[in-house]
A and B are shown apart, each in its own frame.
Chain A
């Protein structure tokens, strides 16, 4: 009994020992920054001088600031424009790439390239493409359109660039998901008389739910954190409050332009809580519908 207990303890120690490097990384680069952000959210801090305890005032200020609510609205609009579009396009692209046509591996790399590139760099390039004078897009269509300063066009333009960047990335996940769909189930459906559309909607899509859950969860989180593209293309504008002033840009503005780290941290914590709630809700919704490996 003692020997068995000793072996168990040793196994536990070895397990924790093997986990230690990862746990140190997670602690240093994930948990500690989150705890610091939470602590700062209760302070008044302009970066230059030492922080002063303020209590919940930053949360009250942020939640009663109409500009913050405007930023949440803009971010929600951005999310609604980007997520359905990139998910549908990514799925369609994955279906095409799964057909194993000639040149497919090359196209997989090409479609993933925008996602690999630095968003800030892409934003600068796209800013030139959309420039009213000397811009590539206006040169092609032969008319002057002020894409990034027009109230109705700025957010769709930024959203378009995000979709362009992310679609290949989404397609890669769906491609992996499609490769895991058991062929025998699809064949059985065909034998039973189902057409290709029916097989896709009634067999393939339900089996892709784990992939869809992952894609949606990570995409929604990243869309609520979009910053680089907006910063490079519009700087949150046009207008006051800005038509593309997404929540991450507002956090940046509070922290590094207005030098109000306390409010910026409070808003970050609110965003974090919101995203956790959103992710849990998605998890609950999908858990009821997800079918994992049916072979077991």
Chain B
């Protein structure tokens, strides 16, 4: 009796071992974790004479604006229906290549500048010139430049991000009302040298659990009640604006995507300053809180535990909805090169595999027009990338008594280019763990950045 049992179990376990290991890839597939949006599906077909176009994006606020836009579009084009497919940011860039590769991609999808080149190179997206024949002058130029590759534009500009700081007027007034007038003129200098007033301001605003400010003797930097600032491992909100405002570079530029962030002394200075704010002066949350929790600082600000929150237009709606205190917006702290934001926009790309080319062309023309793009502005969810539609966004916030002039100025001000052609997540996967260690204060900034740069360049073949 034992033999057959032994034989069966051995065979069963053999199959179990083989199957479970072999199925590992499938089990790890991000499709297992994707949180499909309300409209779901990757429908590209039609029912009867009606054509259904699917549209993928990652922002639920803008999704609501698009749904209104698509209702209007369908009124004008009764034979075309558009469905949105929300894939959260956390899974977006792992899900997208899988779906593009398998042919299960939506007709249209949002992309950012880090990722579009690989789809263009593989012939998976169609360029705007061949689809629509021309480029609209009303499209915001930095976004058009950002997505122009091999002399072709690879998406219709939809959103132009602008950076700035949100500040809690109540916290600041309680510390010293005079600081309010300083907020729009904050300056930082490498090593908090001559001319720097950011660090001294943040020290005054940071208070520990015992009520001592960071300027006081006996300040407990490990137990903070109110943070002065949100210095953190955050590309768009923090370290890119700091790099730009110090005249530093992330990539070589001039057509090369080679990383230079570890060898550019000004970039190293910018990182040293940010890391010191966290680990030396304790005026910002520990990287143990923020490295893997992108919403930690936003939540601290909304809960009234942070005085200054540096971010961008993409958090304006969240703060407007969630803040129960008096707040305002100002420009980013200025470095030696001035106050900088990130030249970062979002475009909608057209899948080359779409079977509804004519309907897609109609929809792209609509989305690239002021009439189509204004729905995003009217919802207040993001700054439209069609310049003639931007007034709708300003008007929305004016009606709520929120002055967004600092963002408008930033959109027309100095910017550092967003990462370009970084091989999808390959390079960030290489530098990400090292940069996290730098922010935790366990790896020296200079040697850590040099190591991260080498790994990131190796990941994209430099």
- Taking the complex as formed, is A163 at the interface, i.e. its CB lies under 8 A from any CB of chain B? no
Extra contacts, 11 of them, besides A221-B17, A238-B437, A269-B21 (Cβ < 8 A), are: A29-B23, A49-B101, A221-B20, A224-B21, A227-B24, A251-B28, A259-B425, A271-B24, A275-B21, A276-B18, A279-B17
Q: How far is the CB of A137 from chain B (nearest CB, A)?
A: 14
Distance in angstroms between the alpha carbons of A287 and B10 in the assembled complex = 10
Within 8 A of B (CB), among A244-295: 248, 251-253, 255-261, 264-265, 268-269, 271-272, 275-276, 278-280, 283, 287, 290, 292-293
Contact B28 A258 (CB under 8 A): no
Contact A272 B21 (CB under 8 A): yes
- Taking the complex as formed, is B291 at the interface, i.e. its CB lies under 8 A from any CB of chain A? yes
Q: Which residue of chain A has the shortest Cβ distance to B286 in the bound complex?
A: A132
In-complex Cβ contact of A240 among B287, B288, B433 (8 A): B433
Contact B425 A144 (CB under 8 A): no
Contact A221 B98 (CB under 8 A): no
Q: Which residue of chain A has the shortest Cβ distance to B95 in the bound complex?
A: A256
Q: Kindly list chain A residues whose C-beta atoms are within 8 Å of the C-beta of B1.
A: 292-293, 296
Q: Known contacts A48-B118, A146-B286; decide if A265 and B25 are in contact (CB<8 Å).
A: yes
Q: How far is the CB of B427 from chain A (nearest CB, A)?
A: 9
Contacts between the two chains (Cβ within 8 Å), count: 165
Contact A48 B122 (CB under 8 A): yes
Contact A37 B22 (CB under 8 A): yes
Q: Kindly list chain B residues whose C-beta atoms are within 8 Å of the C-beta of A30.
A: 15, 18-19, 22-23
Q: Kindly list chain B residues whose C-beta atoms are within 8 Å of the C-beta of A235.
A: 292
Contact A248 B437 (CB under 8 A): no
Within 8 A of B (CB), among A18-77: 26, 29-31, 33-34, 37-38, 46-49
- Taking the complex as formed, is A133 at the interface, i.e. its CB lies under 8 A from any CB of chain B? yes
B1-30 toward A: CB 8 Å interface, digit per residue (1/0)?
Answer: 110011001100111111111111111111
A contact residues vs B (CB 8 Å cutoff) = 26, 29-31, 33-34, 37-38, 46-49, 120, 131-133, 144, 146, 148-149, 213-214, 217-218, 221-222, 224-225, 227, 234-242, 248, 251-253, 255-261, 264-265, 268-269, 271-272, 275-276, 278-280, 283, 287, 290, 292-293, 296
Within 8 A of A (CB), among B114-129: 118-119, 122, 124
- Taking the complex as formed, is B440 at the interface, i.e. its CB lies under 8 A from any CB of chain A? yes
Number of interface residues of B (CB under 8 A): 57
Contact A290 B16 (CB under 8 A): no
Contact A47 B17 (CB under 8 A): no
Q: How far is the CB of A243 from chain B (nearest CB, A)?
A: 10
Distance in angstroms between the alpha carbons of A220 and B381 in the assembled complex = 49
Contact B13 A48 (CB under 8 A): no
In-complex Cβ contact of B288 among A149, A222, A287 (8 A): A149
- Taking the complex as formed, is B222 at the interface, i.e. its CB lies under 8 A from any CB of chain A? yes
Contact B122 A37 (CB under 8 A): no
Q: Which 7 A-B pairs have the closest CB atoms?
A: A34-B22, A272-B21, A240-B433, A47-B101, A30-B19, A146-B288, A292-B2
Q: Kindly list chain A residues whose C-beta atoms are within 8 Å of the C-beta of B434.
A: 240
Distance in angstroms between the alpha carbons of A292 and B5 in the assembled complex = 9
Contact A257 B429 (CB under 8 A): yes
Contact A258 B459 (CB under 8 A): yes
Q: Which residue of chain B has the shortest Cβ distance to A241 in the bound complex?
A: B433
- Taking the complex as formed, is B436 at the interface, i.e. its CB lies under 8 A from any CB of chain A? yes
- Taking the complex as formed, is B323 at the interface, i.e. its CB lies under 8 A from any CB of chain A? no
- Taking the complex as formed, is B312 at the interface, i.e. its CB lies under 8 A from any CB of chain A? no
A-B contact pairs, 14 of them (CB 8 A): A46-B101, A47-B97, A48-B100, A49-B122, A149-B287, A214-B9, A221-B16, A237-B433, A256-B94, A257-B426, A261-B25, A276-B18, A292-B6, A293-B1
